[in-house]
Amino acid sequence: MDQNNKDKKNNPNQKGKNSRGVFSLVVWALIATIGINYISTMLAGQRDAATSQEIAYSELVELVREGKIESVEFGDDVFTVTPVEGFVYTDGEGKSYDENYTLFTTIIPDGNESLMALLDEYGVEYTKPYVPQLSPILAFMMSYIVPAALMVGLFMLMMNLLSKKSGGMGGFGIGNVGKANAKVYMEKTTGVTFDDVAGQDEAKESLEEIIDFLHNPEKYTAIGAKIPKGALLVGSPGTGKTLLAKAVAGEANVPFFSISGSDFVEMFVGVGASRVRDLFSEASKVAPCIIFIDEIDTIGKSRDGGRFGGNDEREQTLNQLLAEMDGFDPSKGVIVLAATNRPEVLDKALLRPGRFDRRITIDRPNLAGRLATLEVHTRNIKLAEDVDLRKVALATAGCVGADLANLANEAALRAVRKGRRFVTQEDMLAAFEFVIAGSEKKNSVLTEFEKKLVAYHEVGHAMVAYKQKNAEPVQKITIVPHTEGSLGYTLLMPEEDKTNLRTKDELMAKIAVSMGGRAAEEVVMNTMTNGASQDIQEATGIARNMVAMFGMSDAFGMMALGSVRNQYLDGGYGLDCAQDTAALMDKEVKTILDRCYQEAVRVIRENREDMDKVVAYLLEKETITGGEMVAILEGRDPATVEDAYASTRKTAQDGFRPSEPELIEAPARHISMTSEKIEMPPLAEEPPQDAPAEETPETEKADGEKEEPENQ
C-alpha cells in the first residue's frame, strides 16, 4: 500500500500548495508571453525599418508619370511601391536604394480615386490583397493564451523532471522539491525476517528488544522505561546492515521507511532539511514504524568546518535531523536505524544518548556464522550429497555475508555450465577460487622456462608454509594462469581462531611464507621476477603493522606509531609520529623482512631435493593438492591421495581442532558455581610493622571439624 499517495490525496494543505503553485505558474507565463509579444513587435518594426524606405506621396505621383513604377499594392495604412526592374531610387540626400529595399508611402485621405486614375493612365498595375479577418477572441488566444499554456506545460514538465532527479516523491514538482524519497514497505513487501539473517546472533539479540517494544509498548511504559530512539548499525561493507534493518521491520510487522543519506543533500541549501522534516512527518502518521537511513555518514559528518570551510547544506540537514530526533515522542514507536561503515567521522552530537544512543556492531561472521550464512543462501539451491558446507565455511575465513551469497550463486552458475542438475562440492570450492583468483586463462601460453619458474615460485611458498610451525596448511598449488593477473597461486587453508588473534611467531611465519616465492627464484633459478610484487606488498604491510600498531618491534617496543583511520573499510592507519621516527620505523620494517627472507632461503636450501620432486609432479599435473605434496615428501605415491581437497594439515590427537566449535567444551562446565551466601571475613587488626603477620586460622564448623575450602 502506498501510504504517501494516500496521505497526499487526503491532505488539504498539500492541495492548497499545489493550487498556489499552478496559479503562480499561470501568472508568470502570462507575464512572459506579454513580454515576448512586445519584444517581437519591436524587433519586427526594427527589421521593417532596416529593409524599407518611406517616400513622399508627390514622389510616388512623379515616379508614376516617369514610368518608373511597375505596380502598387494598396494597404490599410500605406501604399507599397514596386519599381521597375533596374531602377535605383535616390532620396533627397543622395542616398540610393536598390531593389532589395521596399518603397512605401502613407495613404492620403480622399486621394485614392485620383491615384487610381493616374495609374490607369500610365498602365501601372495596382491591387489590394485579401486578408481574412480573425475573431478578436481567437486572435487574443493565439497571441496570449496559447503561448502561456505552452509555457505552463513546459514549466510543469521541467519541475517534475527536477523533482524526480532531486528526490521528490512524485506528483507536481513545485510542491515536492523538498520531499523525501522514502518508500514505505509493509511486512509482505519486505519479506525479510530474522530467519534470513545468519551469523549475526549478537546483533539480533540487541534488536529483539526494539521489536518487543514495537509489539508491546505498554510493558515498557508501565515501568517508566524508554526505548532508545535510534540504533546505529556499524560494520564492514557486505556484512548485512540493510538486510538486518529490513528483518527488524519484518519481525515487528510495521512500516519500513528506507532512504539513503545521499538523498538528503542537494545543491540548494535547505532542501535536505525540508526532506528530513517531511520524512519524520510521514513516519509519525503511520507510527509505529521504522526509519532506516543508509550511509548516514553522508550527512552526519562532524561539523568541524574542515580546512576549507563547512558545507551549509549538509550541516543544515544534520541540524534538522538532530532536532527531529529530539522532538518526536518515543512513545509513538518511531525507531530510527542508521547504517555506516565510517563511524569515526560522525558528529558527536549524533551519537549522544537520546539520539543514536545504541551502537550495534555487525562484524564479520566466525566459522559458525559463515556456516549458518551458507545454509541460508543455499536453501533454494539443489546441493549434491558430497557438499560439505563446513569445509567451505572453513576456507572462507574473513568473508562477509555478501561474499558468501555471491559464492553460492557462482557455484550454482558453474553447475549449470557443466550441465549438472545439482551443485557439488567441487562447484562450491571452485566458486571460492573464482572469487579470489578469477577464472582460468585457457588461451594463455607459457614457455618451458616460465612454467618452471612459476612452479618453483609456488612450491617455494608451499614448502616454507609446510616447514613453518606456525604457518597455515597448504590446500592447493597451481601454475595455471588466472584472470586476476596471477600466473599461479598457492591456496592456504586458514585456521578459524587465527582470523582476529595472531602471535608474533605466526605473523613472522606468514611473512616468511610470502617471501618463499622470491627465495625459490633466487636460490633455484638465480634470478628475480616481478611475479613476487604482490607477495612483497603483503609482507611489507604485515611488517609495518607489527612495528606501528602491534608493538612487536625491539626498537620501539610498546609504542604505537599510528592509529586506525578506516576500521571498517580498508583498515588502513595513519602515522602519528615525527619524520625521524618514521625513518627509523622503515629501518625496523626492513630488519623484520630481511630476517624472514633469510628464514625462507634457509628452508629452500635445506629442502632443495624435495622441491625438485614436487616441481616435477606439478609441471606434469599443473594443479596438485597439499595432500599430494605431503605424499611426495614422505615417499608415497601421490596418486593414492583420493581426497581432492586434502591439505598439509596434520591431524591432531582426539580430532581436536580450535576451529571446530562443536569439539570445544563450554568453559562454564569447568566452573563450580555455588548459591550459598558468602560472609565477609572480619577485618583483622593491622600488626605492628616490626612484628610478623599471624597466619589466618582455618574456619571451623559447629561440630569442631575443619571445613574444606570449596572450589569456585
- Give the residue numbers annotated as catalytic, written as ranges: 458
Contact partners, residue 437, CB within 8 Å, separation at least 6: 482, 483, 484, 486, 489
Q: Are 475 and 493 in contact (CB under 8 A)?
A: yes
CA count, 13 A, side-chain hemisphere, 380 = 4
Q: Are 97 and 87 in contact (CB under 8 A)?
A: no
Alpha carbon distance 605, 516 (integer Å): 11
With both helix axes pointing from N to C terminus, report the angle between 579-606 and 608-621 in degrees, rounded to the nearest 10: 80
Amino acid at 311: N
User: DSSP 3-state assignment of 626?
Assistant: helix
Q: What is the number of other CB atoms lying within 10 angstroms of the CB of residue 67?
A: 12
Alpha carbon distance 288, 332 (integer Å): 6
Positive or negative CA dihedral for 17, 18, 24, 27?
negative
Do β-strands 102-106 and 52-54 pair in parallel, antiparallel, or remain unpaired?
Answer: parallel
Q: Which three cell numbers stand for residue 143?
A: 497571441
Phi-psi map region of 710: left, alpha, beta (phi>0 left; psi -120 to 50 alpha): beta
DSSP for 451-506?
HHHHHHHHHHHHHHHHH-TTSPPEEEEE---BTTS-S-EEEE---GGGSS---HHH
In angstroms, what CA-CA distances link 176 with 167, 169, 172, 278? 9, 6, 7, 10
**Residues forming beta bridges with residue 346, ordered by sequence position:** 301
Alpha carbon distance 293, 338 (integer Å): 5
Q: Are 107 and 77 in contact (CB under 8 A)?
A: yes
Which helix (H) or strand (E) segment holds residue 237: the answer is none
DSSP for 517-566?
HHHHHHHHHS---GGGHHHHHHHHHHHHHHHHTS---TTT-S---EEES-
Contact partners, residue 166, CB within 8 Å, separation at least 6: 177, 266, 271
**Residues forming beta bridges with residue 78, ordered by sequence position:** 106
29: exposed, middle or buried (Cβ count in 10 Å: 0-12, 13-18, 19+): buried
Alpha carbon distance 201, 373 (integer Å): 11
Q: Which three cell numbers stand for residue 23?
A: 496559479
User: DSSP 3-state assignment of 123?
Assistant: coil
- Show the 3-state SS of 206-253: HHHHHHHHHHCHHHHHCCCCCCCCEEEEEECCCCCHHHHHHHHHHHHC
Alpha carbon distance 315, 327 (integer Å): 18
Q: Which three cell numbers stand for residue 427?
A: 562447484
- How many angstroms from the chain centroid is the CA of residue 238? 10
- How many angstroms from the chain centroid is the CA of residue 436? 21
Contact partners, residue 316, CB within 8 Å, separation at least 6: 269, 270, 272, 273
Q: Are 641 and 627 in contact (CB under 8 A)?
A: yes
